[in-house]
Amino acid sequence: MEEALFAHAADAHLGAQDRVFMKEGERIAFKDLVDTCIKDHVDFLLFSGDLFDSNVPSMTVASFVAQELKRLWEHGIPAYEIHGSHDNSPTHSSMIEVLEGAGLLVNASRVVQSGDLIALEPIIDRTGVKIYGMPGLREGREKEFYEILDREKLESDQGKKIFMFHSAISELRTGRFAKMEAIPLSYLPRSFSYYAGGHVHARSVNDLPGFGTLVYPGPLFAGWGIEDITDYSKNGGGFFLVHLSDDIKVDFVKEEPVKVVVVDKNADGLSSQEYAKELEPKEDYSGSMVVLRLHGKLKSGRVADISSEYLRAAYAKAGAKDVMVSRGELSGPEQRIVRVGTVSQLEETLMAENVKPPYKPELAKALLEVLSREKLEGETDSDYEERLVGEAERIIDDFLSSSKGKKK
């Protein structure tokens, strides 16, 4: 029987953090992953999507990742990846393709047409383990691929098999992911040794009768958004080391490159003056990133009475290396709470309410993503404008072509 030791990580979202202290944490977490792979002599690394937070990250982030992947390559450790919802682009242009072209990553998603169905071709690692990959798409659109996937062919293949995917599973959704776009468990091919999941930002190990061991490692570091940062402050990030032989053994490697403390305060029933007093630091925060999560409805006063500048100064005096004030869920008596959840969730709600047929929220979201991209290092204003306009035009052309095809 084939035996292998491999690392399984996902959802690094490199480039998501915009604060110096947290950017450092991103880099340390990814470097530690590579260090562990080298130190423990793993046979290969699996990365189940969303290596970057954007399909075109900054050159600083891309250069760092290339250097780390080169260290793996120099030690003879292949890195197999699949695209996640953040890695994919409507224009099919991504930094992932650049790294693959340089031989630093191997795309495990080998999708081929087979009549009315699609088939997946395996990568056969030097250990003899067969690795199949299904990419993730934005808005859970990979569901359409699963509906025409030739599962029978995958299930009939013999040997040790790994299925990489970047989707939530309906039957496994819990907590804040309960309403997440998902595919049913029945869409996965049965009888695989290991299912290397990504996309769900929560760690779990699931032994599923008739299938195998299905694992979500959760974010490598702090993902993106206030919910992920809050989870990281409680549980850390990390990845799994997996021993694959006749049995499966998984060991979690916890990552806490920087200390994050979330101060969660509810304003319900308090005046702005009382709430400000509640928010003042009451302990030592030396060496920590402090996230002040402000939410609820003040009984009197204004949200503007809560000074972010004062709070940052107060927590810095208490030893915090950096202070982030999240106040999007806080309202005063004269306000109603409009913003609930993450920025991404708000965007989806507004688009669903305001984008009317024949256009679709997915088109608006894709255009918003393109038009909100920053200039690349060394890029001129005219090149920047031409790049964004060109990508936006291609998205619109793809949408129009798709719409005409459906009418036929």
Question: Catalytic residues, which ones?
Answer: 86
Please provide the distance, in angstroms rounded to a whole number, between the alpha carbons at the two ends of the chain: 51
Contacts of 375 (CB under 8 A, 6+ apart): 381, 384
Task: Say what the alpha-carbon torsion angle 236, 238, 243, 244 is, to the nearest 10 degrees.
Answer: 120
- Dist CA 407 CA 402 (whole Å): 9
